[in-house]
Amino acid sequence: MTATDAVLVLEDGRTFRGEAYGAIGSAFGEAVFATGMTGYQETLTDPSYRGQVVVMTAPHIGNTGVNDEDPESGRIWVNGYVVRDPARRVSNWRATRSLDQELAAQGVVGISGIDTRALTRHLRERGAMRVGVFSGDAAGREHSALLAQVLEGPRMKGANLVGEVTTAETYVVPALGETRFRVAAVDLGIKAMTPHRMAERGIETHVVPAGTPLREVLALEPDGVFFSNGPGDPATADTAVELVRGLLERRVPVFGICFGNQMLGRALGFGTYKLKYGHRGINQPVQDRLTGKVEVTAHNHGFAVDAPLDRVSDTPFGRVEVSHVCLNDGVVEGLRCLDVPAFSVQYHPEAAAGPHDAAYLFDRFVELMQEQKSGDAAPANAAVPTEDTAPTNNTAPEGGA
């Protein structure tokens, strides 16, 4: 074996051999695939990918290099990176370095030159699973020893990762122009473009750590509270769920995306479950059931909310309907509360990277806060939960929707 040799070993024993890409060493995590043909820099720096080894389905990666404007956070969060055909040279006027150099500088182990189509088909058939990527000296070890290391790693189901990615301290993203609203954004793994999208709409965003208690959130006197995307199993995030419940009781407008959608779902009493291989990419078709419009949207989730598609549900916080659905597999992609000011979607409307079809959701949040602020919101007729009636997490069995 040479210093450039690398090997990828899945937990079911299947192995792919290629060349080292990025840092030399070993990386472990859940093997998932992302279908975006562009936006790899935003993908790498999305905190929602914590704990995962990302396989890029697009065969050619790295041609636009890396710049300092496009990252969605201060670092790369993926545990490992898998590509088929890395760019030989950077070809973009904004690039300051190559992707290979950036991965190496941040200690991210990757592999290139493997059949990512075959790997993706395997993951679609068998499901997301634990994986190890080994390069350099580690790649020369016996297959049985490498597989044993993979099997020692933790599974994504039951993983509590929010604490690893949330901000340590509150920070403020000011509004662009006149400040119309103040929003508390609970950082479960937030991307930088999200508060920027709110700033464009006159929102001053106070990004707070995931464990911030209700009293401190309310002390900010927010017009609304936003719950961000994030990594891990939503069934582990009890603190965030309790915060959502406290806000719903007080009729504070709530908007959640991705992990935040799952927090709202759990707060309303719905369960969550793990998808077979998840949705990751910037080309997922979703229908807004309110308007009938089909949107192409950006996704990054391996879990989903278990809510009925065929009826309005009664919850301790009033009536709730599924507002959006994935047209590929029927997975719940959004919730809308009819009796309290709250809604959420399972995808990423900030479009970093991805299409802008879902940007209107930030406008819906503005409208919701404006209605609540002016007293035009619909009267509450939802029961106020008590300790005896508060919803519980009815986790559905693992599997597809």
48 is in an annotated binding site: yes
Indicate if 60 belongs to the active site. Answer: no
Is 230 annotated as belonging to a binding site?
A: yes
Which residues, in sequence order, are bridge partners of residue 187? 209
Measure Cα distances from 228 to 76, 169, 188, 207, 240 in Å: 18, 16, 6, 10, 11
State how beta strands 15-22 and 109-112 pair. Answer: antiparallel
Which of 306, 288, 305 has its CA nearest to residue 296? 288
* C-alpha to C-alpha distances, 368 to 180, 250, 336, 342, nearest whole angstrom: 13, 15, 12, 8
Instruction: Copy the structure tokens of residue 326.
Output: 């994935």
- HSE of 123, CA atoms in CB hemisphere, 13 A: 30
The answer to whether the annotation marks 334 as part of a ligand binding site is no
Q: Of 282, 255, 304, which Cα lies nearest the Cα of 357?
A: 282
Q: Note whether 343 and 255 are within 8 A (CB).
A: yes
The answer to whether 63 is a known ligand-binding residue is no
Catalytic position from the list 258, 295, 321, 326: 258
- As a residue count, the chain comes to 401
Of 45, 38, 165, 37, the C-alpha closest to 102 is 45
Q: Is 346 annotated as a binding residue?
A: no
Whether 258 is catalytic is: yes
Concerning whether 142 is annotated as a catalytic residue, the answer is: no
Is 262 known to sit in a ligand binding site?
Answer: yes
Q: Does 79 belong to an annotated binding site? A: no
Does 259 count as an annotated binding residue? yes
- Which token pair is 55? 């396989």
Phi, psi (degrees; rounded to nearest 5) at 148? -60, -40
Q: Tell me 50's DSSP state.
A: B
Please, how many CA atoms are within 13 Å of residue 184, restricted to the half-sphere of its CB?
27
Which residue do the tokens 């993706």 mark? 120
Residue list for the binding site for L-glutamine: 48, 230, 232, 259, 262, 300, 302-303
Where in the sequence numbering do the catalytic residues fall? 258, 348, 350
Residue numbers belonging to the annotated binding site = 48, 230, 232, 259, 262, 300, 302-303
